A = this chain, B = another copy of it.
Amino acid sequence: MSLKFEVLAKASNSSARQGKIKLSRGEFSTPTFMPVGTQATVKTLSSEDLKACGAGIILANTYHLYLRPGESLIASSGGLHEFMNWDRPILTDSGGFQVFSLTELNDITDEGVKFKSHLDGSSHFITPEKSIEIQKELGADIIMAFDECTPYPAEKNYVEKALDRTLRWAERCQQEAEDTEQNLFGIIQGGTFADLRKLSARETVKFDFPGYALGGLSVGEENELMYEMLDVTVPELPQSKPRYLMGVGTPEDLIQGVLRGIDMFDCVMPTRIARHGSIYTNKGRLTIRNASFSADFSPLDPECSCYVCRNYSRAYIRHLLKRKEILGHRLTSYHNIYFFQNLMTKIREAIARDELTYFADDFLTQYKD
């Protein structure tokens, strides 16, 4: 089934909206946060854990899965859902961001990108068509156009060229995806230049994709600059299509993004900081590995009602982390993913009650990163 997006509530004093995305593998409410399963696994968590945390859709990385175990292997298993035992929607990125940020780049032309794998230095050539072919093999419900992701800072001249190329690639991606039921989202680039962001948005919208992503943000620029880019870009996008802010972000970023009209987010942060022994609470992040928690028998977050907070103490989890026990990483990862899902639930409820700005003020006053 093609993606169906429905807006159910709109905030009266911000661009926030609450809605629902329907796909053949299920529906989920927006704004939504997608946990990241880079290697076809959201690190440390099982599918059951993710469902218990409330995840309605997850993201997997095309670049990593293309390298290992390879898209053909995943296709022969029946696709990514079957391979990783996840029956709800999946979004795959195009590999563009990883190719431009992780690899040794050899040659970028209109045809595509030559690069060396970050794993073994082997040579690869990815074109827009190739990215879509790989994503067809993986079989995600939402797939992404192959884009040239510019770093921050970058010269305007270069950003403009990358933007143009991304548009030409968008067309080729759309053609390549014509014969699939998967839903191809376009990606808006333009770096941190307001006029380029607007231009990219207007031109990308002409392709009439079922959804639009904002790429090339959260790559090192100040938060305020990212929010400005949302402010100038989102008004160029149709109300009737979901908007996805790629690779974002902190709890504060999620709230600021929703206020500016974003519907979808993804970020490795909650699982990454979990593995380093940090957890989220409504008051900010805590480094639970610290000695100050060694005899603290309260839950990770006393306000949280997740499985971990109902059953395990800070002292126990600190002990596990100090002893490098895998269960420690599981428990912090579980809590952090739950925290993000729960935050999105509270955001959706606040929009439905048209109280998002109050909620945002309350949350951001308490929360110190």
Question: Chain A: residues with CB nearer than 8 A to chain B?
Answer: 39-41, 43-47, 68-69, 73, 76-78, 83-85, 294-295, 297, 311-313, 315-316, 319-320, 322-323, 325-327, 329-331
Contacts and interface: CB of A to CB of B under 8 A. Distances in A.
A327 B45 contact: yes
A47 B330 contact: no
A301 B295 CA distance: 42
Contact of A315 (B43, B73, B313, B320): B73
Contacts of A294: 69, 73
Per assembly, the copies of the chain total 2
B77 A325 contact: no
A35 to B, nearest CB: 13
A92 to B, nearest CB: 16
A288 to B, nearest CB: 14
Interface class of chain A by DSSP: loop
Nearest to A68: B323
A77 B322 CA distance: 17
A312 to B, nearest CB: 6
Given A73-B294, A311-B47, A325-B39, A316 B68 contact: no
A69 B315 CA distance: 9
A101 to B, nearest CB: 19
25 contacts: A39-B319, A39-B323, A41-B325, A41-B327, A43-B325, A43-B326, A43-B327, A44-B326, A44-B327, A44-B330, A45-B327, A68-B322, A69-B294, A76-B297, A77-B297, A77-B313, A77-B316, A78-B297, A83-B315, A83-B316, A84-B316, A85-B311, A85-B312, A326-B330, A330-B330
A84 B331 CA distance: 12
A319 B68 CA distance: 8
Contacts of A47: 311
Given A39-B325, A330-B330, 20 more contacts: A39-B320, A40-B316, A40-B319, A41-B320, A44-B326, A44-B327, A44-B330, A45-B327, A46-B330, A47-B311, A69-B322, A73-B295, A73-B315, A77-B297, A77-B313, A83-B313, A83-B316, A85-B312, A326-B326, A326-B329
Nearest to A45: B327
A32 to B, nearest CB: 23
